[in-house]
Amino acid sequence: MGGFFGVVSETDCVADLFYGTDYHSHLGTVRGGLAIRDGRGFARHIHDITNAQFRSKFEDDVGGLHGTAGVGVISDYEDQPLIINSHLGVYALVTVGKVANLQALAREALAGGAHFSEMSGGALNPTELVATLINRGHSFEEGLALALRSIEGSCSVLLLTADGLYVARDRFGRTPVVLGVRDGARAAALESCAFPNLGFEVERDLGPGEIVHLTAQEAVTLRPPGERMHICAFLWVYYGYPASEYEGVNVEVARNRCGAALARREDRDVDVVAGIPDSGTGHGLGYAGAAGIPFQRPYVKYTPTWPRSFMPQEQRIRDLVARMKLIPVRAIIEGKRLLFCEDSIVRGTQLKDTIARLYRYRAREVHMRVACPPLIHACPFLNFSRSRSELDLAARKAIHELEDGPGGSLDEYADPATDRYAAMVDRVRDALGLTSLRYQILDDLVDAIGLPREKLCTHCWNAAACGLGHTRSGERT
């Protein structure tokens, strides 16, 4: 998915930029980058962070950087930031999101005489494509507005110039962008958890499609927000960091409410409630509190050396990381009826092994309660899964098996009141080797987040319930 951080200050901002960007490390897996502006121009560093933490890769760089404004990014794919020389001036650019119509926009740009130089493995760098759109404007404001209108999917932008930092949130607010303020400095970030330890207070969230210009002294709105917002509900379920808030709703609080909602629908007697670390922990704590059942840790996570399991590109390595980082606690597992809360079941391959290990340690029963509905549709708006096909999704695989191939009404499978939904859940339960499996009801998830349903994107769980329209290319917006 990716995350970014930008800062403008009356004094040197390198430490703020370094640590503020680092606080987005949970969102990206492949590249990290920093660009800073001093009196002479831009300095930039980009490193591969596939097998190392952001901080360890950039510690040697920051000692030689000085400046009062900068942007940083953690990216899943492309090299960023880019330094662009254009008719508008020289600027540094970072983006977060997914340009769903990347190839169509690239063909249009090439037909108009543009060229692309940031090619890796023959693939176009989406951030460079965004730069070509921005460069069509007669000003940075106009160029950013044009880019937001042209992009299908999502794209939020930080653009640093000699005159300050331009901040733009994607057209429908699918990803959050929050502004922070401190005496003599202003910042913009995807995760508000980047602010407290750097002394920033949250000033406000940008609205969907809003464009602002930041200097150390003020934040000026250049383009007001649009009326329609469809922020990704999965941020509260999984991706968001517990200390962050989006649209005034804290992630950990939402997860606690989500777990409590699962407990209110429970009919099983268990001995222990737990969460699959890390994001399942918040849901599990909410469940345990509402159910009055002890919360314990049958698995503890070894964090000093093992990164998040989705980081490596190769599935074999991801599975190894997932296994090695979770250490079972036999004294809590043996002979117990365990109920685990999990944020979601995407493919389920790692989860299956996690469950099997519990039985090898003589768990009596293993129940799973999932904090969101079954993932039935791939997300067309954000890069939150590396699955190449919707059939990689555990729920879709179960549907495919039940239908003996493509077929059936996906809307019926998304409706928890139908026999097809029950059959799908039972098929997933059997594949994972669980005693019982229950998913969150979409209405309960929306209530736990606490925002109006029409402001949330729930496409991956129930495209029909999301109630969104279509663009000319079929994108749901």
For tokens 């404004």, name the residue.
69
**pLDDT band, residue 427 (cuts 50/70/90):** very high
For residues 104 and 106, give the distance between their C-alpha atoms in angstroms, rounded to a whole number.
5
Nearest CA among 223, 124, 125 for reference residue 170: 223
Peptide bond into 196 cis (omega under 30): no
What are the pLDDT digits (tens) for 275-301? 998 889 999 999 999 999 999 999 998
Rounded Cα distance, 256 and 277, in Å:
14
Beta partners for residue 347, in sequence order? none
Instruction: For tokens 């005034």, name the residue.
Output: 248
pLDDT-based confidence at residue 170 (cuts at 50, 70, 90): very high
Q: Return the CATH architecture of domain 3-226.
A: 4-Layer Sandwich (3.60)
pLDDT higher than threshold 50 for residue 475: no
The mean pLDDT value for 412-437 works out to: 96
Residue span(s) of the chain under CATH 3.40.50.2020 come to 249-466
pLDDT band at 92 (very low <50, low <70, confident <90, very high): very high
Q: What is the layout of strands, in order, in the sheet containing 153-161? A: 82-86, 89-99, 153-161, 164-168, 211-214, 219-223
| Closest residue by Cα to residue 369 from 397, 335, 344, 394 | 344
Please state the rounded mean pLDDT for residues 412-435.
96
DSSP state of 239: I
Strand, coil or helix: what is 365? Answer: strand
pLDDT band at 390 (very low <50, low <70, confident <90, very high): confident
Q: What are phi and psi of 311, to 5 degrees?
A: -65, -55
pLDDT digits (tens, 9 = 90+) for 26-64: 998 889 999 999 888 999 999 999 878 899 999 999 999
Residue with tokens 């290990």: 357
Q: Which CATH number fits domain 249-466: 3.40.50.261, 1.20.120.1200, 3.40.50.2020, 1.10.357.10?
A: 3.40.50.2020
Residue 120: which pLDDT band, with cuts at 50, 70 and 90?
A: low
Q: For 346-373, what is the mean pLDDT?
A: 95
What is the distance between the alpha carbons of residues 7 and 459, in angstroms, rounded to a whole number?
33
Structure tokens at 248: 């005034």
Where does the chain hold its CATH 3.60.20.10 domain(s)?
A: 3-226
Please, what is the average pLDDT of the chain?
91
CA atoms within 13 A on the CB side of 253: 10
Q: Hey, CA dihedral for 9, 13, 16, 17, is it positive or negative?
A: positive
What is the C-alpha to C-alpha distance for residues 263 and 291, in angstroms, rounded to an integer? 6
Q: What is the pLDDT of residues 403-416, one digit of tens each?
A: 987 766 899 999 99
Q: Where are the alpha helices (DSSP H) in 192-248?
A: 234
Cα 286 from Cα 339, distance rounded (Å): 13
Which residue did the predictor score with more confidence, 358 or 468?
358
Q: What is the mean pLDDT of residues 439-456?
A: 97
